[in-house]
Structure 1
Amino acid sequence: MRFLLQFFLLVLPMQLLHVYVHAEPDNLGFVSIDCGLSGPSYVDDRTNISYVSDDGYIATGEKHEISSEYKSRALYTSDLSLRSFPSGGRNCYAVAAAARGRKYLVRARFMHGDYDGGERNLASTPVRFNLNIGLDFWYEVTVSDAARTYTREAIAVAVASSVSVCLLDTGHGTPFISSLELRPMGIDMYPEAVANRSLGLFTRLNMGANNFLRYPNDVFDRFWGTPVYITEWLNISTNGTFMSYYSTDHIRVPTDVLRTAITTSATSVHLNITVYAASVGQLPPPTERAYFHFLHFASFEQQQRQFEMYFGKVKWKHNNISVHESYSMQPSYSSKGVYMLSNVSLVATDDSVLPPLLNAIEVYYSIPRDDTITSPDDVDAIMAIKTQYQVKKNWMGDPCLPKESKWTGLQCRQDGVESKIISLDLSGNHFDGTIPQALCTKESLNLRYDTNDGDLCNGKSPKKKNISVLTVAIVTPIAAVLLVSAILFFCFCHKKRKQQITLGLVHQYSVQPTGISNSVSHVDIKGHILMSDDHEFTYEELVKITNNFSECIGEGGFGPVYLGKLQGSIQVAVKMCSRKSVHGQGIREFLAEVDSLKTVHHKYLVLLIGYCTNKNHLALIYEYMSNGSLFDHIRGKKANVQTMSWLQRTRIVHEAAQGLNYLHSGCVLPIIHRDVKSHNILLGEDMHAKISDFGLSKCYINEAQTHISVTAAGTIGYIDPEYYFSSRLTMKSDVFSFGVVLLETVTGEPPIVPGVGHVVQRVKQKVSDGDISAIVDPRLEDAYDMRSVWKVTDIALLCTKEVSDDRPTMTEVVEQLKDALALEEARHIDGYSDNGQGSIKPDSSANWAPLAR
C-alpha cells in the first residue's frame, strides 16, 4: 500500500496544478520502445504489441538499421533497428510511464547485425558495455555474435515517476540498444524485489516445452525459454484446465507453462537441473551476490508425488517439510530459496508413488540499490520540466549522481543519503511571460533565467540580454510543483493575458470538450454562448433570483454558490463561474455540466433547472438541496448538524450508488462522473441523496469503447491510482472513488490523514487484525448492525482494489448496499430506534428514469 500513500500525498499535488509527465502506455499498460525506429509506430505481427520510436525518450545517439544479410535472423520487428552511442560516457532512457512505488519488468534487447559495416570482429573482440537501472549496475552486455539477439530482464520498483535505463561506455566498443520494454507487475509479485533491491533475471525456463513462450500466453510478457535437455529427463504434458492460483502465489505462472513438465523414469532417479552457466562471468562472483531460485510445480495425476529439494548438497529448509502434491490439476506451487548458483536436485521420498516433477524454474540475482540517490521529489520535478517544456540540455539519468555525470546547469547538495537540487539554470531556453510573485519570493533554490524578453519576476521591459537569478524552493513536493508551474507560466501567460472569452476562445472549447454531446453552436454579437434549448436565464434574472447575490451558501473550484428563489417560493442553488475559472478549466466544466444534465435525468441525480450564458456571468441553476452534503454530516463541522445514524448513512450511499449506476448502465452510452466524493452527494429536505457536480464528466463515444484516454483529474484522496498513472479512464475509476466514500462513511474519517496514510490502508490494517469495531465512526456509539457494517466495508475494499478489473460494477455495489441496508432496517424493526434525522423508505429502483439520449 505504500505506493498509494505516495500517490495521494505526493503525486496528486502535481495533478492539481496541471503539471504532467506523460508517457504513452498501450491498452495493456505496456511501454514498448523500438530504439532507432525511423518510421511510424506499429503493431508487431507476432505479439500484437504496439511499438513506438525512441525519439521521445532520448536526445542523443545515432539511428541505424542492421545489415540486410541479418534481417532474416531478427526474431521481432524491433530487432531490425537500433540506436548506438558513439559519444558520451552515459546515455540514458527515462521512461516516464512509471508510478512511484510500482513494480515493473524492465527488458532490454540488443542485436548488432553488423549495423556498422563489420568494422569490428565481434568473435575476437566483443563489444562490451555496462547496463544500469538508474545508478545501479544491472549487467555487462557482451556482444560476440552479430546474428544473435541478447536479452536482459530485471524486476524493479520505481523510486521516482520514471524508470531510467542507462548504457555506460567502458571503452570496449560502442554501446547500442535495439528495444526497451516496460511491463507493470502486480504489486505483490516477486516480493524479493523491493525499493532498495532489484532482481536481475539469470534464467527462466519452461520445462518440458519445445517452444519459446511470451505474451499473450503470459499476460505479464515474461520470456519463458526452453532448456537444453539431458537424457535422464522425461517430458510430460496435459491439456487440462488448472484451478486458480493459491492466494500466496506471488509469481502467477502462466497456465501454458504449467501444462508441461519434466520428470524421471522412476522414483529412484533424481531429477537434476544445472543452473550454473558460463555467462555468469559477466556478473560479480556468486559469493558476492544473492541468487533467488523459484521452482514451480503443478501435479498432473492423482497419485502422490513427494520429494525433497537440494541446492548442491544443501537441503531446502523451508519449514523443514517436503514439497507434496497429491491431487490432479491443483494450482501451481512455487518454492523459493536464496543460494549460490549450483545444481538443483529433486529427490523422491520413500512414500512417493511417482518420481519428482518440475514445471518451470526461474533464477534471479540481486541488484542492490545505491544508498545515495537524488531526492525522488526533485527528480520528478526536474523531469517534468525537461519533458513538458523540451529543455534543450543534455539531461539524462540521475540529475545529481554520479557527480561526474551531473546534469549541466544544476548544482546539488548532499543531504543525508539523498542529494538535493539547490540551483537550476534555465537560461538559453527562451521562456517568456511573468513568474508568479509567490514563486519569486521563495527561498533555497537559485533559479537562473534569461531577461532579454523582460524580467520574469519583476515585470520589467526587455533591455539587453542578460541573466537574472531568483531564489525559489524545491525542498517539498508542493514547492517542486510550483517550480514546474512557473515554467508553464513562462511559456503561456503572455498570450493568456491577451485573451478573454472571445469568439476564438469559445470556439476552442466548443468542439467536443468532454466527449459528451455538445450543444454549443456559436457566439452571438452580444457575447452569449447560444444553447440549443430554452432553459436560459439572463444575468438580470439571476440578480433578481438571488436578491443581488445576498446569500452565499458555498464555494467550489467552479465558483461561489448562492441561494435563490423562483416564483417567490421554489428555492434554487445558483452556481456562478468565477472570473478565474472563466480563464481556466471553468468554461470546460460549464459546458460539460450543461451537456450532461440537459440529457440525463434520474431521481438520484441533481436536477439542472437552467443556466446563464452571458460571457461575463456564466452560471448554472440547480434544485436546492437544503441538507447540504454527505460530507457535512459525517465529517463537516457545521453548527446544528446532528450525527448521522448508520441507517441514514447506508440509505444515502445506497441511493447515491443507484444514481452512479444509472450513469454507467442506464444511459445509452455510459457516462463517467470522474469526481465522486462525499462533497458531491447532496441531500434534499427529506434526506434523499443525489449525485451532483458533473463538470469533469466524460462520456463514451460508442458501445465498443473500453476506456477514455484523458489526462487524469479529480480530487486528492478519491482519484483512482490506476487511472492517474495510465490516463485510461473507465467506469471502474468511479467505482474506486465511490469505495473511498463508503470507507469515509463507515469511519467518519477523511481519505488521507497526514502521517497516518490513506483510508484504504488504514482500514485494511484494522480488518486484517480482525477488529472491525476499531474502524467504525465512534460517534455511532455502537448503534448499528455489525453485519451491515461488515458488508459495507467489504464492498468498499473490493471497490478500492488496486487493479480495476478486480473491482465490482456499480450494479453489484447497489445490490450489496441494498443487503446492508436491509440488515440495518431489520435491526430497527426488531425494536431499536433510529435516533438520527428522518426515516425514509429506500427505493431500490436503479433505473427510475427513461434512457438518456
Structure 2
Amino acid sequence: MSTAVTPVNASAPLVISWEPEAQTDQFYVYLHFMEIQLLATNQTREFNIMQNGNSRYPNFSPRYQLVTTLYSSSGTSGKEIIYSLEKTKNSTLPPIINAIEIYRVIDLPQLDTFQEDDDAITTIKSVYRLTRDWQGDPCAPVAYLWHGLNCSYPRKESPRITTLNLSSSGLSGKIDPSISKLTMLEKLDLSNNSLNGEIPNFLSQLQHLKILILNSNNLSGLIPSALVEKSKEGSLSLSVDQNPYLCESDQCNEKKKKKKNTVTPIVASVGGVVILLVVVAAILWTLKRRKSKALMVEKDQSQISPQYTEQDDSFLQFKKQIFSYSDILKITNNFNTTLGKGGFGTVYLGHIDEIPVAVKMLSPSSGHGYQQFQAEVIVDKGLAR
C-alpha cells in the first residue's frame, strides 16, 4: 500500500479490464486505496469509479496514509469487465490505485465438510496455535485438502475427516477434548510433540479409530484400560513409546511396589543426584578371625605374620574406596545373591579382586536413619582393623 499507480496521461482515466473465459463467470473485485502523497492546500485528488460504464463510487478521494477498500457484495459478469477511474473537474491530480484483488467464483461439486468436523478442526487450530496454511473448507475441494488431513467423500453426504496428523507440530499442553468431536477419525498421530497430562478416555470412545500414535511426548499416568484392551484385541494399533511417565495399570502397580521396597544407597549430594555406595563389611567367612587378629595386634605385634599384615593393608585400601553404582553392579553381579536383611536394609554378596565381600545398602524405610548407618560404617572399619 505504500506505492500506487496513476494513468500515463494525467488527464486520462485509469482503466483496468479483462475478458472472462465465459460470460457466465462471476467475479468479486476489491479495490484498495491510500493517499501516499502529502497534498498541498491547493492540491486535490478526486475521481469517479465506474464499472462497465455505470457509476459505482462517485467523487472518491483517498485518505492520507489510511487504507480504504471498496467492493461489491454481489458478483459481476459479462463479455468484458471494465473498471475506470476518472478524474473529476475539481481535481488537480490524476486518480490512483494502490492494489486490486479479483476473485472468480468456482462452483464446487462436493458439499462442505460436515459442520461438527469443521468446528472441531477449527478449534484444534486455535487451541494449539497452529501456523499451518489452514484456510477455507478443510476437505473441499480435494485439491485444496488441508495438510495433515484425509477425508472420506460419501455420496450425497458431507465429507468427514478420517485422518489427523499433527506429528512434529510443536504442540504443548493436554490432548484437547475437541478431538473427540471427530467421530469418524480412523488415524490420529500426535507424536514428537510436548503434550503432557494423562491420555484422555474419550480417545477410546472413537469407534472408528484404528491407529493412535502418541510417541515422544511427556504424557503421564495410566493408559486407559479400554485402549489397552483394544490394542490387545488387535482392533487398535497403539504407539506410546518414549513417554517416560506413562504406564499400564499393571506396570504402575509394579512401580509402586518397587518404590516402597527400593533399597537406596547413601545419598551424598543435594536432591539425590549422586549415589554413593559404601562397602561396610568384608570377607564374611574370615570376618571373625580377622577381628580377633586385629585385636591381637594391640597385644603382641610380633605374633602377626608379615603375610597377614599385607593382606590386611590391601583390605583396608579397598574399604576406604567409594564405588559408583555401576561398580557395585559388577561387584554384586547385579545384586544376584542376598545374604540377609538387617535394621538398615539388605546385605548382598559381592567380590572385589576375587575376595568375597558383603555390601550393605541403606533402605529409605529404615527406622535407624542415615546418621546411625554412617556410624555403623565407621565402627565396622574399626573392627576390621
TM-score (norm 2): 0.36
TM-score (norm 1): 0.19
Higher RCO by CA contacts (8 Å cutoff, separation 6 or greater): 2
